[in-house]
Structure 1
Amino acid sequence: MAYPAGRYSRQELFKPIGPAGQKEIRKKHAIIVGVGALGTHTSELLARAGVGKLTLIDRDYVEMSNLQRQHLFIEEDARKKWPKAEAAKEKLQLINKDVQISAIVAQADASLLENVVESADLLIDGTDNFETRFLMNDLAQKYRLPYLFGSCLGSFGMAFSIIPGVTPCLQCLLKKIPLQGQTCDTVGIIAPTVQMVTAHQGAEALKILSGNMNAVRKTYVSFDLWENEYLSLKTDALKESSCRSCGERPVYPFLDPELEMKVAVLCGRDTVQIRPAEQGDFPLEQIVRQWRSAGYEVGGNPFLVSVRKDGTRAVFFRDGRALIHGTSDPDTARKIYHSLVG
């Protein structure tokens, strides 16, 4: 039987999607928070797949160090320091002009995200910090919105499809699978790690957007491409009825303004103070080892640690509070903070 060679014909020939699934994809709206390594890959995949609408949210601009692993961006974007969301939108519109693309250059906080999630069908993680991920997790639970978590570092990556009411949420998962506070700035990353995570995210996105919810993977996946390791873990037992985000009486703690990371510009000092939502005994010794291994200049005393990175000095205290010197821009300070502690 002959098939017309239409734009999405090869995707429609895949029986689990078919013409009916393609029609569903064309109706759907996906939000991608973070348009860096993960976000550029997944946004390109969905634009080529013919998703109806994409909303791209990122506060950052393109840098030369991004080009090694972040699709869509070119050297000219880095030279111009073009906002990532806008640069990605420009390239995606050249790929598929029929996709409605909205670029938002801003910090993805609760007020911003709550204004866009109600019209969405899927929330995709492309961010680089758990402050934003926990916020996305709570929004997914509140609005019953599928959320595709993904993270990568070095040669290690992980992915998990969070379906409200069905799977554990991110809070439940990380209580049993704790993560170290490493970042790409301290241990690096190779591009195939990104591609592996986004292959998982992209496949799950196509299942959800085409209406194949029964096919969604319910296991947590992690891998190390360098060490040739792959793990798929059943997660049913990880769901906690007492969880404040997805339990029987959820309160969505990360949507509470009182629990947001506090960022304040210190008057007359060209310094921004950052106070994390949850303060406690910050693992300074462990993080100092990572910074020194990455070649950063580190000093301090029993009460605080000072680290120099890219011409900026940051001072961290044992409760997690930090002073970012050399800038009065809150977004720049957040970026430096997250690049150092994950």
Structure 2
Amino acid sequence: MTVCSSSQTRLPCAPSCFPATRRHGLFSPAQNAVYRSTHSSQLDATTTLDVTPRRLRTFPILRVVVPVLSATSETIAERYSRQVLFAPIGAAGQEKIAAARVAIVGCGATGAAAAALLARAGVGTLTLIDRDFVEESNLQRQVLFEEEDARNATPKAEAARRRIAAFNSQIAIHAHIADLVPGNIHELLNGAQIVLDATDNFETRYLINDYSIEQAVPWIYAAAIGSYAASMNILPGQTACLACLFPKPPSGTVETCDTAGILNTAVNFAASLQVTETLKYLIGDLNAMRRTLLSYDLWTNERSEISSARPDSECEVCGKRQFVHLAGEARPHITLCGRNSVQIHEHNRPVDFAELAARLAPHGTIRSNELLLRFERPPFTITVFPDGRALIQGTTDPVQARTLYARYIGS
């Protein structure tokens, strides 16, 4: 492992970043015809909802699909004309982008920016996966959300889907309001040509890394904290994987957006790095893809790079193919979210919002829609999703969170 182009190696240090030494869808006409013939009953609706029980250890997933609208070749040519003029892409590259399938894990700051850029670039199918909902503090940097989304606590994946559909009706968007876990990762990422990481925790990143190596599907890491942005490409069999460079997650306390803050420019810089590398991959220009973990401080203009050019034959994941995160052996049942809240997972536990609202109404304030239910009983707020997952706000104690869940939702 070598360090280059840097007077000082200092990478972001946060759950959304790597550890540091000091701190911190466009269908073809034929595809469109098939889609319209098999989904004719849905085409007049804005969305379709599908909540289907899954196999053991897989969460039921709330899935929102945007129907693909017909578009003339003239419309397509005009929309992407400036991108087609860029010589490395051209008309042939744009056709590949239009046929591409990209999954984004996390629709927060980095994920929302990446999704917007990919949608405007004409990526044919986007899969958006996020477990969280919009809050007012998100609006400073998360570009796909509005004040109304924060007031309604709209799930981020759904809010992002609506906003993207408003500016590009020519692509397919699949929104999944779900936590990416070993039990559903194969289903949620199935068919994706490349996966973009925009998560806020190491356990999900190592899970994506396991999946990437097992399935030979590339993924691109991106993160931002403070004024720092970082990105790295993982191409199975060609470059180092996450575990090659960092065999284990960082130990001890690390900074987060809640403690160190974040510049919205750092977020957009990270997303731009990630999306540019994605476009290179989609058009087949692999030689142009970066083989380093790049970190850049937009405030001090410090830059550092760590080589990721070759896989490590002794790596537990890509060398020895031991997928402990994919097997669920390294994932705790209860996950701290990093903002005075605890997430509780419940396997195969669909929730009847109407029944739950009636039961909780005498005990606090209820706000609900088809996507989530919020129960406020100061100083706690419990947000429940259709798959039984819940965010308990007002505590960072897993034991207390479990007690509150059992008391009000049921064990």
Q: Same fold (TM over 0.5)?
A: yes
Identity of aligned residues (%): 42
Q: CA deviation at 1:235?
A: 2.4
Deviations 1:131-163 (A, max 9, x none): 111101111111111101011111112110110
Q: Partner of 2:289 in structure 1?
A: 216
Q: In the alignment, which of 262, 268, 280 is matched to residue 195 of structure 1?
A: 268
User: SS at the partner of 2:206?
Assistant: helix
Residue in structure 2 matched with residue 145 of structure 1 by the alignment? 217
- Does 2:280 correspond to 1:204? no
Residue 123 of structure 1 corresponds to which residue in structure 2? 195
Match of 2:179 among 99, 107, 121: 107
Match of 1:13 in 2: 85
Unaligned segments of structure 1, at least 5 residues = 265-270, 275-309, 316-321, 331-342
- The change in CA–CA distance for 1:234 and 1:26 in structure 2 (over 3 A counts) is same
How many residues align structurally? 278
Q: Which position in structure 2 is the counterpart of 1:233?
A: 306
Contact between 1:160 and 1:219, CA under 8 Å: does it hold in 2? yes
| TM-score normalised by length of structure 2 | 0.63
Quick one: distance in 2 between partners of 1:61 and 1:48? 23
| Aligned-residue RMSD, C-alpha | 2.5
1:111 Cα deviation from its structure 2 partner: 2.2
Higher helix share: 1
How far 1:326 sits from its partner (Å)?
A: 8.4
What is residue 10 of structure 2 aligned with on the other side?
none
State how 1:187-336 maps to structure 2 within 5 Å: 187-236=260-309, 239-247=311-319, 249-263=320-334, 312-315=394-397, 322-325=398-401, 328=404
Please tell me whether the aligned partners of residues 312 and 326 of structure 1 are also in contact (alpha carbons under 8 angstroms).
Answer: no
Question: In 1, distance between residues paired with 2:124 and 2:79?
Answer: 14
Residue number in structure 1 paired with 2:108: 36
Q: Is the CA contact 1:244–1:253 (under 8 Å) kept in the aligned structure 2?
A: no
Q: Which residue of 156, 161, 166 corresponds with 1:94?
A: 166
- C-alpha separation in 2, matches of 1:100 and 1:29: 9
Q: Which moved more, 1:63-72 or 1:215-224?
A: 215-224
Report the equivalent of 1:78: 150
Segment of structure 1 superposing worse, 212-221 or 177-186: 177-186
Say if 2:222 and 2:274, in contact at 8 Å, map to a contact too. Answer: yes
Which of these residues, 110, 132, 138, is aligned with residue 60 of structure 1?
132
Instruction: Go from structure 1 to structure 2 and tell me whether the alpha carbon gap of 1:63 and 1:120 turns closer, same or farther (over 3 Å shift).
Output: same
Whole-Å Cα distance in 1 between the matches of residues 220 and 114 of structure 2? 11
| CA positional deviation for 1:41 | 0.4
